[in-house]
Structure 1
Amino acid sequence: MSNVLIVDDEPLARARVRRLLTMHPNYHVVGDADNGEQAVKLCKELQPDIVLLDINMPKLSGLEVAKALKLLAIPPAVVFLTAHSEHALEAFELAVDGYLVKPVTEQALTKTLLQLSKLNRTQVNRPVHSHITYQLAGAMRRVNIDDVVCCVAEQKYTRLIFVGGEAIIEHSLKQLESTYSQQLLRIHRNTLVNKLHIQSLHCSVSSGHHLRVRHYDEPLTISRRALKTVKQAMGE
């Protein structure tokens, strides 16, 4: 039996999804929410296996809720519900587990539930965030998070440096740090580095502490505030 939380600010939409779920006896609706803040609160209390989540909602959007849920110790599977296809890219970037266009049909819901049946909420080690998406020459591309070397803030954008290349993305360092907290380490207010690529720590009278990483020639400055955290990450 899988427990489901329905999140939508439209009562009729919630009722429709609840009614469709009655055709699937292995899925039990444990509750519903009509705004993003309530959704996060109920997820922490009820610990559902699956969250069917509308995107356009008051207080917190579905995108913001999904980001918050992915940070839980045991995150639920997240399926977006939306009438707006322009959110597909953001859903893709968040690595959500499904995407249903409203009004939800019985066939679409059944197909999504079959896909989700392969997932288990207790599979904590499944890679929730494994890629960063960027655009190049009008095409969407992905880079595996393990291949990301560092991220450097440059005015309104972030320079993503990875093995074999680099790209400009609109994600802020704060967003990247939150989403990929297991891999990316803050070493300065304008720099994140991938722990996998840390090579050596250096100190000089003129330039202070800096870090050398693999696949990038330039030394990266470490702030005083971050120095202790960097040393801990390096096992010093």
Structure 2
Amino acid sequence: MRQLIRALIVDDEEPARQELRYYIEQNADFTVCGEAAGGSEALELAYSLLPDVVFLDIELWDLDGVEVARLLLKQERAPLIIFATAYDDYAVQAFELNAVDYLLKPFTAERVTTTLARVRQLLQQHETPSLAGLLNQLAANRKTTKVAAWKEDRLLIIDPGEIIYAEAQGHQVLLKTHQGILRFTGTLQELEEKLDRSFLRVHRSFIINLDQVREVVPYFHGTYRLLLKDQEKTEIPVGRTYLKDVRSVLGF
């Protein structure tokens, strides 16, 4: 008998939980394994129930839903995350967290069915004896194919290959691209986790696109700078703690 896909619903409004439960349970291969009215309760239930997917409201009474999602995704067996909320202001953060979908209230049967089909497809793509450990493997192998970043008041969705380098400046991360300087809304660490092996962290403040390296320039006291292929011929410092990795990847 095929194992049911286990869903956890997190919303501080009981009618919203009941409505979502009804739509989910119209699908014979899904079951709602639990409900939570707040973020703390959601984390406790997720650790004990090990759901395959979490439907997560953002405006909770105790914790921010986006932060709850980040904590859930750090689990050894991370669930798929679907934001189910009345607010559309968090779509960018949902995208950056690789959420499976972003459901806006009021829910409709058709929209929920589409979301469940997406969950079903993601889980079926990975053949395992059971669903245990599936999302840990998925998180390790999956990298984003797009990056969301701001250019003034416009949100651009770009291919990672367009990034020449990323630099942390204070509390913001700037992306040097062929379209100019863009602003990434997360941290440098969060950006690094999204990018594939064509990118390398070379300094606590810099990630570079390896395809954009033109030359390795020796610097003072055994340090190096990387000369890039951009029009400005930008030089990026190599931090001492990152030098071993840079040497290994670039072969010098």
Deviations 1:7-50 (A, max 9, x none): 22334433332233222111022333343355455545544332
SS of alignment partner, residue 85 of structure 1: coil
Task: Give the aligned partner of residue 218 of structure 2.
Answer: 203
Instruction: Point out where structure 2 has 5 or more consecutive residues left out of the alignment.
Output: 127-137
Task: Give the aligned partner of residue 223 of structure 1.
Answer: 239
Alpha-carbon spacing, 1:119–1:170, altered in 2? closer, same or farther (3 Å): closer
Identity across the alignment (%): 27
Task: Give the aligned partner of residue 194 of structure 1.
Answer: 209
Once the two structures are TM-superposed, the CA of residue 219 in structure 1 deviates from its matched residue by 1.8
Task: Give the aligned partner of residue 161 of structure 1.
Answer: 176
* Structure 1: distance between partners of 2:230 and 2:73: 29
Residue of 89, 96, 104 corresponding to 2:92: 89
Once the two structures are TM-superposed, the CA of residue 177 in structure 1 deviates from its matched residue by 3.1
CA contact (8 A) 2:143 2:194 kept: no
The answer to whether residue 134 in structure 2 is matched with residue 118 in structure 1 is no
Task: Give the aligned partner of residue 144 of structure 1.
Answer: 159
SS of alignment partner, residue 20 of structure 1: helix
Once the two structures are TM-superposed, the CA of residue 150 in structure 1 deviates from its matched residue by 1.2
Alpha-carbon spacing, 1:163–1:50, altered in 2? closer, same or farther (3 Å): same
Deviations 1:65-95 (A, max 9, x none): 3344555676533211111122233334434
CA contact (8 A) 2:192 2:207 kept: yes
Task: Give the aligned partner of residue 35 of structure 2.
Answer: 32
More displaced, 109-118 or 217-226?
Answer: 109-118
Alpha-carbon spacing, 1:141–1:51, altered in 2? closer, same or farther (3 Å): same
Alpha-carbon spacing, 1:185–1:46, altered in 2? closer, same or farther (3 Å): farther
Q: TM-score, normalised by structure 1?
A: 0.78
* Structure 1: distance between partners of 2:169 and 2:243: 22
SS of alignment partner, residue 83 of structure 2: strand
Q: TM-score, normalised by structure 2?
A: 0.74
**Greater share of strand residues, 1 or 2?**
1
Residue of 5, 9, 12 corresponding to 1:9: 12
CA contact (8 A) 2:143 2:196 kept: no
1:129 counterpart letter in structure 2: T
CA contact (8 A) 1:8 1:57 kept: yes
Instruction: Point out where structure 1 has 5 or more consecutive residues left out of the alignment.
Output: none
More displaced, 195-204 or 8-17?
Answer: 195-204
Task: Give the aligned partner of residue 176 of structure 1.
Answer: 191
CA contact (8 A) 1:203 1:209 kept: yes
Deviations 1:98-155 (A, max 9, x none): 1222343333322322343332265438745222112336432211123322111234
* Structure 1: distance between partners of 2:34 and 2:181: 44
1:104 counterpart letter in structure 2: F
* Structure 1: distance between partners of 2:37 and 2:197: 31
* Structure 2: distance between partners of 1:33 and 1:203: 56
